Structure 1
Amino acid sequence: MNSNLHERLRRLGVKPGREGLKHAPRPARSAFNIESLVDGREVTENGGAYFVAETSYPPDHRHGSRPLADVLNSDSRLAARLGQHDSLAASDLSGLAFFDIETTGLAGGAGTFAFLIGVGVFESGQFTLRQFFMRDPSEEAFMLNGVAESLRDRVGLVTYNGRGFDVPIAQTRFDLARRPFDLSSFPNLDLLPAARRLWRGRYENCSLGTLESAVLNHHRTDADVPGSLIPQMYVDYLRTGDAREMRRVIYHNAEDILSMVTLAAHILEMFADPVSETRTGLDCLRLAMWHDDNGEADEAEAAYRAALARARSLPADHKPALYSRYAAFLKHAGRRAEAAPLWQKWADLADDDPTPCIELAKYYEWEAGRIAQAKEWASRALICVTHWRKGWERDEAWSEIQHRLERLARKE
């Protein structure tokens, strides 16, 4: 948390840890308190209280281009692979909890409070979203009890950057409040790594807000607020008790969770069927690379073939990746003759990369036994290196290719 925000919280009586929270003052009374602005209720327990907003959606509620229930038709084995947790493979995905927090700082650490925690679950034939709100810091421990109870029977979490942000911060708050709850042990299907696999470089960024617009075709209303403003809004709320901006923060949190539901369905569907007619050439390439990296040869080749068939629609700056990755896949499988046309396509696009030319020189020398063509490709590789800046890398590559040409000359 930045020093200015930390100092403002300190002046309000907010300190890290349970002891510092006990005596923090309640927000000033205001005609715009949270109870009058947001549908919800006060929960009281053991002398403490907190506020929870609860909203239920029918399973066919559409968020963007998809109904919420689409995620329930996804393959749990694929969810286990993307979440890197085998236990999800045998789980009913209706047992997942969609989890997102809003905090007093964006950097994390022990001084960062999670003042709003959203938990969305499928139950009783509906999708129910509960948003646990800390009206003042003295309510934290009681609010965390409510969060823990809502998660107790869940088989895992779905988050967006939850491994790096939401879960560590929430776990720290449980620990500091002396509320034993091992949130970090939950299987966590964090959608951000998969989203980056699929969409990095295609859009301005891979933020949830960007993808819900570009991928899900969902657009938020003017009630939304930029996430970067949320910490200061909460500090202002603690000072004034005016919850009008908190109503916008609660909307923002709800939108994040609903987007996670339909984005999870979209991502799982893409990974489950990488060669669907609805996939673009770039979709197929990204999915092929994922299967390839995971050693799933059949799935990888099917997706590479689909990407190659749709290469015309592939952005020009991604075509070298298609040809190089698919050729490397075929080479690894001992199918160099099939890789040769791909190396040639790659060479035609790569003026300063000698790699495809060298691969072709090797192929024609050792596999096809056509020395003249091997020399031709080695010579092209040498031309590529001439485009490099002078230095040891250029000298080393030049020497290696020159040695190859000398050997080929002796074979003629």
Structure 2
Amino acid sequence: MSLKNKLNRLKPHLSISTHSEKEPKLLPEVTAIEIPFLDKWEQEKVTPYFLDGNYCFIREVRYPLAYQHGLYRFDELRTAVNSWNESEIIHPLSSKGHSVEELFFFDTETTGLGGGVGNTIFILGYASVLGDELILRQHILPNPGAEVPLYQSFLEKVNYRTLITYNGKSFDWPQVKTRHTLVREHVPKLPAFGHFDLFHAARRLWKHKLDRMKLSIVEKEVLGVERLDDIPGYLAPIIYFDFIESKQPDGMIGILKHNEIDILSLVTLYTHLTFQITRTDRNQSRPETYEVGRWFASLGETEQAKKVLTTLTKEQDITSTKAKLILAYQQKKERNWTSAQELFLEVVESEDLQIRAEACVELAKIFEHRHKDLSKAIRYCQEAINSVSVDPINMSKPMFDQLQTRLNRLEQKYLKYHG
């Protein structure tokens, strides 16, 4: 069969139109998506976002910067960011080089606490400053098959340089990345950014006073935030699964408001942490000041640590003693042996047996290696043993054995030179 005949036989099956190009083309009829209880959603400032025959929800709430959440108004966040930009303090939470508009306060709600693809994010919530408002948005997954519009709507609005979360490095953002991989062919890429995780900061500053570090506890005990008629976070997955079946939005609206408070509290918490670290909080307690100084010391910011901790050394309390101990170690590291010895000698008078034992060990080292005074080295080693011996609750056998080994070595060394 000739090529011409073959083409003629195929003509009825070809999708090439024989109509004139000037004739209008008939587009397929678009079927509207019916959204259950849309009027209830709209009453809560929730609107649908449509994409490729599917949809998600977006809720937007705007707060004036004069609005106060807990200890601070939102405009004090701008003061906090400005204080970092005007300061020479080097710190992991510093937003130096950023404007307040570049901070992105982020939190999620998920169907479980575990990781992996079996855990679904059903609310992506965030807030950022724009002009004279704090704008809070929440992107809501109406059913498990709507992740493409969920992430498309979220990523097309993202405009930030620094993410601020509460345990987000370990949970929220890894979970976002996991879910994003499932739809990445259909939505924009995840942007690169800096990340401030306030969970670790809160634990550093307030573990001395809080047994648990849940955000709701930090809110109440530190930030002055009181939740009224709040739905506990652990009920969120159950409420979401019920919503998928019933489509009734009442429970989900409660979860949205729970998530909203979480996000607003991140703004207050970052502001408060900034004022703590930069020491502009006039109500900062001595233990909080100590934790700030200890944090600087752990970062190797010795001058800042010294500046903060020295303010605590005039009193006769445990906070003063702990501050002196850190300062003594800094002096030792800098090989300022005289200053280190003086501080350890002050610390050794502490009523805290563990601290006293620690200072005695350091003095034993100084007298053995710097002054070659074995009798004093033996004396302080023996005092360290006595301190741990009378504190059986906190005494560890390895520590006791190490001290006993040190004492035996010092005594043998003394006998060798003084027969």
Q: Is the 8 A contact 1:37 1:243 kept in 2?
A: no
Q: CA deviation at 1:310?
A: 5.0
Distance 1:46-1:180 versus aligned 2 partners, 3 A rule: closer
**Is contact 1:27–1:237 with CA below 8 Å preserved after alignment?**
no
Q: Which residue of 1 aligns with 2:253?
A: 247
Alignment-mate amino acid for residue 172 of structure 1: T
Over 3 Å counting, the alpha-carbon distance change for 1:229 and 1:79 in structure 2 is farther
**Structure 1 Cα separation of the partners of residues 89 and 337 of structure 2:** 35
Partner of 2:69: 63
Q: Is the 8 A contact 1:56 1:126 kept in 2?
A: yes
Per mean C-alpha deviation after superposition, the further-off stretch among 372-381 and 263-272 is: 372-381
Query: CA 1:398–1:27 in structure 2 vs 1: closer, same or farther (change >3 Å)?
Result: farther
Tell me what 2:333 maps to: 332
Structure showing greater relative contact order (alpha-carbon pairs closer than 8 Å, 6 or more residues apart): 1
Q: 1:82 aligns with which of 92, 109, 112?
A: 92
What's the counterpart of residue 304 of structure 2?
299
Matched-pair contact (CA < 8 Å) for 1:33–1:242: no
| Structural mapping, 1:147-162, within 5 Å | 147-151=154-158, 153-162=159-168
Secondary structure at 1:112 match in 2 = coil
CA distance in 1, matches of 2:65, 2:126: 16
2:100, 2:129 within 8 Å by CA — same for their partners in 1?
no
State the AA in 2 paired with 1:287: V
**In structure 2, what is the equivalent of residue 42 of structure 1?**
48
SS of 2:66's partner is coil
The 8 Å contact of residues 58 and 127 in structure 1, kept in 2 or not, is answered as yes
How far 1:42 sits from its partner (Å)?
A: 1.8
Q: After alignment, is 181-190 or 169-178 more displaced?
A: 181-190
Q: What is the CA–CA distance in structure 1 between the aligned matches of 2:316 and 2:169, rounded to whole Å?
A: 35
Q: Does 1:171 align with 2:177?
A: yes
Task: Please state whether the residue corresponding to 1:82 is helix, strand or coil.
Answer: coil
Give deviations 1:146-192, integer Å, cap 9, x for gaps: 100111x3222111111111111122222212344443732111111
Once the two structures are TM-superposed, the CA of residue 243 in structure 1 deviates from its matched residue by: 1.6
Aligned counterpart for 1:212 among listed residues 198, 215, 219: 219
1:382 is displaced (CA, Å) by: 4.0
Residue 320 of structure 1, CA deviation? 6.0
Q: RMSD of the alignment, in Å?
A: 3.1
Q: Is the 8 A contact 2:289 2:309 kept in 1?
A: yes
1:16-44 deviations in Å (ceiling 9; x for gaps): xxxxxxxxxx99956x9751552222222
The answer to whether the aligner puts 1:383 opposite 2:393 as a matched pair is no
Higher mean C-alpha deviation, range 137-146 or range 247-256 = 137-146
Give the Å deviation of 1:101. Answer: 0.8
Q: How many residues align?
A: 376
Return closer, same or farther for 1:385/1:67 CA change in 2, 3 Å cut-off: closer
Contact 2:378 2:407 in 1 (8 A): no
Give CA-to-partner distance per residue, 1:132-155, whole Å, 9 cap, x none: 11222232211211100111x322
Taking structure 2 as the reference length, the TM-score comes to: 0.80
Give structure 2 stretches of 5+ with no counterpart.
1-32
Q: Is the 8 A contact 1:82 1:194 kept in 2?
A: no
Cα deviation 1:295-338 (Å, max 9, x = unaligned): 111101011112323563xxx5x666434322211211223333
Helix, strand or coil: the match of 2:128? strand
What is the CA-CA distance between 1:219 and the residue it aligns to? 0.4
Structure 2: how far apart are the matches of 1:349 and 1:357?
13
Instruction: Kindly indicate whether the alpha-carbon contact (under 8 Å) linking 2:310 and 2:323 is maintained by their aligned counterparts in 1.
Output: no
Match of 2:314 in 1: 309
Alignment correspondent of 1:128: 135
The worse-fitting range, judged by mean Cα deviation, of 301-310 and 124-133 is 301-310
Match of 1:9 in 2: none
On the 8 A contact 2:357/2:388 being kept in 1, the answer is: yes
Letter in 1 for 2:45: D
- Aligned residue number for residue 238 of structure 1: 244
- Give the partner amino acid of 1:280: S
**Greater helix percent: which structure?**
1
Kindly tell me: are residues 330 and 392 of structure 1, through their superposed partners in 2, closer, same or farther at Cα, counting changes over 3 Å? closer
1:378 Cα deviation (Å)?
A: 3.3
Among 357, 361, 364, the alignment partner of 2:360 is 357
Distance 1:376 1:160, change over 3 A: same
SS of corresponding position for 1:298: helix
CA contact (8 A) 1:320 1:350 kept: no
Contact 2:314 2:320 (C-alpha < 8 Å) held by counterparts: no
Residue of structure 1 aligned with 2:59, choices 49, 53, 60: 53
Distance 1:393 1:218, change over 3 A: closer
SS at match of 2:56: strand
> What is aligned with 1:4?
none
More displaced stretch, 34-43 vs 251-260 = 34-43
Superposed CA offset, 1:191-224 (max 9, x none):
11111111123112111111111111110111x1
User: 1:101 aligned to 2:108?
Assistant: yes
In structure 1, what residue type is equivalent to 2:380? Answer: W
3-state secondary structure, aligned to 2:261: helix
1:267 is matched with 273
Residue aligned with 2:223, SS: coil
- Pick closer, same or farther for the CA change 1:66–1:218 going to 2, 3 Å: same
Output the amino acid matched with 1:383.
N
Is this contact kept in 2: 1:97–1:156, CA < 8 A? Answer: yes
Contact 1:385 1:394 in 2 (8 A): yes
1:290 pairs with 2:295: yes
CA–CA separation in structure 1 for the residues paired with 2:128 and 2:180: 21
1:91 matches 2:85? no
Could you say what secondary structure the match of 1:118 adopts? strand
Shift of 1:341: 4.3
AA of the residue aligned to 2:383: R
Kindly tell me: are residues 265 and 386 of structure 1, through their superposed partners in 2, closer, same or farther at Cα, counting changes over 3 Å? Answer: closer
Distance 2:193 2:114 in 1: 22
Identity %: 24
Is residue 2:191 matched to residue 1:188?
no
**Which one-letter code corresponds to 1:239 in the other structure?**
E
2:62 alignment partner AA = S
Say whether 1:113 aligns with 2:84. no
Q: Is the Cα–Cα contact under 8 Å of residues 282 and 307 in structure 1 kept in the other structure?
A: no
